[in-house]
């Protein structure tokens, strides 16, 4: 690997990023790619090199990581969270929206509605 920035080529950068894929996660490689892009842009703007070795280089793409599938236990936890945490919030939001946008039947006004957090009881 060259020690002078002016001697670096696209192949050097590609080799470095490919080597990173062997022992880091794809997100880490992408972070290094973006950092190097900014660094070489600064070096070009500063007049140290005429053009970036990363010019017209595409971001690296690594192997896709599979998304874990929810099991029945996770589904039960999700359902519990929905019932205990989300449903009360959604219900209060629906009541507030009804108050803000009344229909022809004379929905209550915002002033007449008391909104409480479930833990306030």
Cα–Cα distance for residue pair 38/19, rounded to 1 Å: 20
User: Which phi and psi angles does 101 have, rounded to 5°?
Assistant: -125, 75
Domain boundaries, the chain: 1-61, 84-120
pLDDT at 113: 56
% residues pLDDT > 70 (the chain): 77
Cα–Cα distance for residue pair 34/29, rounded to 1 Å: 9
Q: What is the reported pTM?
A: 0.52
% residues pLDDT > 90 (the chain): 35
Cα–Cα distance for residue pair 53/50, rounded to 1 Å: 10
pLDDT tens digits, 57-80: 988 876 677 777 766 666 777 777
Cα–Cα distance for residue pair 71/74, rounded to 1 Å: 5
With vertex at residue 83, the alpha carbon angle to CA 81 and CA 85, rounded to the nearest 5 degrees, is 55
pLDDT tens digits, 6-63: 899 999 999 999 999 888 888 899 999 999 999 999 999 999 999 999 999 988 876 6
């Amino acid at each position: 690997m060259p020690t002078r920035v002016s001697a670096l080529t696209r192949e050097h950068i590609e080799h470095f990023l490919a080597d990173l894929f062997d022992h880091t996660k794809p997100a880490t490689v992408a972070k290094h790619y973006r950092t190097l892009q900014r660094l070489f842009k600064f070096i070009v703007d500063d007049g140290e090199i005429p053009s970036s070795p990363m010019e017209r280089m595409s971001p690296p793409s690594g192997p896709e990581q599979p998304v874990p599938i929810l099991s029945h236990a996770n589904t039960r936890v999700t359902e519990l969270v929905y019932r205990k945490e989300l449903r009360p919030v959604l219900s209060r939001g629906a009541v507030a929206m009804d108050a803000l946008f009344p229909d022809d039947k004379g929905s209550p006004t915002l002033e007449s509605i008391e909104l409480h957090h479930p833990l306030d009881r």
